Structure 1
Amino acid sequence: MVTGREETGAGARERDAPGPDALAAELAAARPDLKFTPGLGRALADAVAAAERAWPGLSLPAPRFVAALAPRLAADRPAEAALAELCVGDLYLACACVDGDPRALAGFDRLLVPIVERAAARRGATASQQTDLQQIVRERLLMPRPSAADESHARLAEYSGRGSLRAWIRVVATRETLRLLGRPQREVSGDDDAIAALMPADAGPELEHFKRHYREAFKQAFREAVAALTDRERVLLRQHALDGLSIDRLAEFYGVHRSTTARWIDGARRSVLEHTRRALGRRLHVPASELDSIMRLIDSRLDITLPTLLREPGTPAAPGKPR
């Protein structure tokens, strides 16, 4: 006979969960190189609680989650500060998916499907191709693959938590869309929004002159410049300028040093400018000094203009900042 009220679910899990000191001890055993602070145990307990609230019902014990957090904490700052930099809710979901939790996998799929649909729609994918892409991205992220240590692990296990899981999935979806659909046939919208982005609100005489005389030439020149980019250059510029992925996050994804990613992006940017200059030179037949002046204007505003210019035809601008 059972007397009193029986605890189940979240209440039982909260009652049985390790306390702050136990969680701090778990982390210390896994990462003795970290700089520990008196508030670390409480910070870990709060991180676990926040993750459980974000994804209720997942079967992921707190010690397992702390073990997953341990290798992702930067060693060059106090552990509590390093913990605050991580997207703990996203890491909690990823960790539960790697462990095969059905509810976690269902939640992950709810994130993945609309991201892949948007990436595929930008390339004009058919409904059948969108379905194929969803399955490809699932397999890329969730199917075990051999690691350097001859152990099998899912690609999702490599997610660091230093950026949102949605952005991380978006990078993979973009790459797989390019792989499946090949080189895009339409590159830029070519509408007046691109020129509007080039022009600040207080445009002076030089900008007004550019707007009146070179609008069509610029649109055609930029179309050619983007078409001349390599697939990697085009994807990098879209990831950086349109999707808002930082150099550090791109470096992490591609597995290279941040200086390499910065060099790639700078090279892609310079390629756009060089191709644009050649295309404008063929069309405008103006003195070299005037062409230099035009290019200085484009160079100074290119980073503001790129998100508009790189957007696919028919793709509406997203409200607010890129995610």
Structure 2
Amino acid sequence: MRDETTADDASGCAREAGPDPASEGPWARLYAEGRAAWPDLDLARAAFVAHVDRHVGRGSAELAGLHAADFYLACACHLRLPGASAALQARHGAELEAVLKSRRVPAAHRDDLRQALWEKLLVGRPDAPAKIGDYAGRGPLGGWLRVAAVRMALNFREQARADRLVPEPELDEARHPASPDPELSFLKSQYRREVEQALRDALAGLAADERNVLRLYFLDRLSIDRIAAVYGIHRATAARWVARGREALLRGTQALLERQLKVERAEVDSILGLVRSQLELSMSGLFRAPE
């Protein structure tokens, strides 16, 4: 895909000379590190500072922990500097292709899905700005992109199942892949404690009947029909109880993650998408853990 640069963007991206970064604080060191990593991307200091202020503020103590080169590249992509999107795709394209393969997206659909992902990240729509602008530099850009790719793959699978675009056996294999899941490994390495604690707290906040139904469903692995028989209710009622408890748990987990994690709302949504895809495994572990 081609980079698009407006006249206003171009005017703000001229090369600027400035004083020693050490004399201007953490944001200037961040800019210098990013510029050194991507010397061909001529990102103006003023534009970079505006991006810093948008996410953390130039005086924030968080600046010291940001991934400078990744943040600089994402800022350049957000401003659509010439060569920025090509640099991003060259650096991370193979990773995202691996994500789609690991999620068993059929080859016939992979090209379209990959193109849709890049457009969502780098181009956007009038009602939905390009998502690359949401990257705040708090974690590796490659990991952030992998989460976005996983979420898109999951959405594709759900839509394909509903529209019967892909045979059920292929989707079932994708749901329970035999090989280790690199995206789940990334999630665990980055947010494992926060996610587990949020799930645990959200579960504790459910009503007793919702917890009991989820325990029967996730831990005891009772079918909807068996749960209906246990409670002496209609099958449709049992299905509603399970769905209600599941969604209440996810809503509670999302609210807790938004308060606990210092990341953008879009990233919390992506994390929750992975939690949703692995909820059965997570819940089984929580119910087995000693209280």
TM bracket (short chain): 0.5 to 0.7
1:168 aligns with 2:157: no
Take 2:96 and 2:178, find their aligned partners in 1: how far apart are those partners? 25
Structure 1 runs, 4 residues or longer, greater than 4 Å off = 263-270
1:22-33 paired onto structure 2 within 5 Å: none
* One of 268, 272, 278 as aligned partner of 2:284: 272
1:119 corresponds in structure 2 to 99
Once the two structures are superposed, residues 94-145 of structure 1 have per-residue CA deviations (whole angstroms, 9 ceiling, x without a partner) of 1111222232111111234222212211232333322112101111111233
Structure 2: distance between partners of 1:168 and 1:57:
23
Gap change, CA 1:174 and 1:250, over 3 Å in 2:
farther
**Is 2:172 the counterpart of 1:185?**
yes
By how many angstroms is 1:50 displaced?
A: 0.6
- Counterpart in 2 of 1:47? 30
C-alpha RMSD of matched pairs (Å): 4.6
Structure (1 or 2) with the greater helix fraction: 2
- CA shift for structure 1 position 268: 5.8
User: Counterpart amino acid of 1:67?
Assistant: A
1:132 aligns with 2:112: yes
* Pair 165,123 (structure 1): closer, same or farther in 2 beyond 3 Å: same
Query: Match of 1:110?
Result: 90
Letter of the 2:266 counterpart: F
Tell me which amino acid in the other structure corresponds to 2:121.
Answer: L
SS of the aligned residue for 2:261 comes to helix
Give the aligned residue type for 1:19: P
Q: 1 CA distance for matches of 2:144 and 2:17?
A: 30
**Structure 1: unaligned runs, 5 residues or longer:** 1-11, 24-38, 192-220, 238-246, 275-294, 301-323
Q: 1:253 corresponds to which residue?
A: 266
Once the two structures are superposed, the pairs formed by residues 1-323 of structure 1 within 5 Å of their partners are 16-20=16-20, 41-73=24-56, 79=59, 81-146=61-126, 153-182=129-158, 184-186=171-173, 187-188=175-176, 248=261, 252-254=265-267, 271-273=283-285, 296=288, 299=289
* Unaligned ranges ≥5, structure 2: 1-13, 162-170, 180-217, 223-241, 251-259
Aligned residue pairs: how many? 197
Deviation at 1:67? 1.3
Q: Which amino acid aligns with 2:76?
A: A
1:116 and 1:133 in contact (8 A); partners too: no
In structure 2, how many angstroms separate the alpha carbons of the residues matched to 1:270 and 1:119?
21
Structure 2 vs 1, CA of residues 135 and 59 (structure 1 numbering), >3 Å: closer, same or farther?
same
- Preserved CA contact (<8 Å) 2:121 2:131: yes
Instruction: Report % sequence identity.
Output: 28
Is the 8 Å Cα contact of residues 138 and 263 (structure 2) preserved in structure 1? no
Question: In 2, are the aligned partners of 1:60 and 1:96 still within 8 Å (CA)?
Answer: yes
Assess, with a 3 A threshold, how the Cα gap between structure 1 residues 179 and 190 changes in structure 2: closer, same or farther. Answer: closer
Is contact 2:33–2:69 with CA below 8 Å preserved after alignment? yes
**Who is 2:254 aligned against?**
none
The normalised TM-score by structure 1 is 0.48
Secondary structure in 2 matching 1:57: coil
The whole-number CA distance in structure 1 between the counterparts of 2:19 and 2:263 is: 36
Structure 1: distance between partners of 2:283 and 2:62: 37
Amino acid at match of 1:248: L
One-letter amino acid of the structure 2 residue matched with residue 253 of structure 1? A
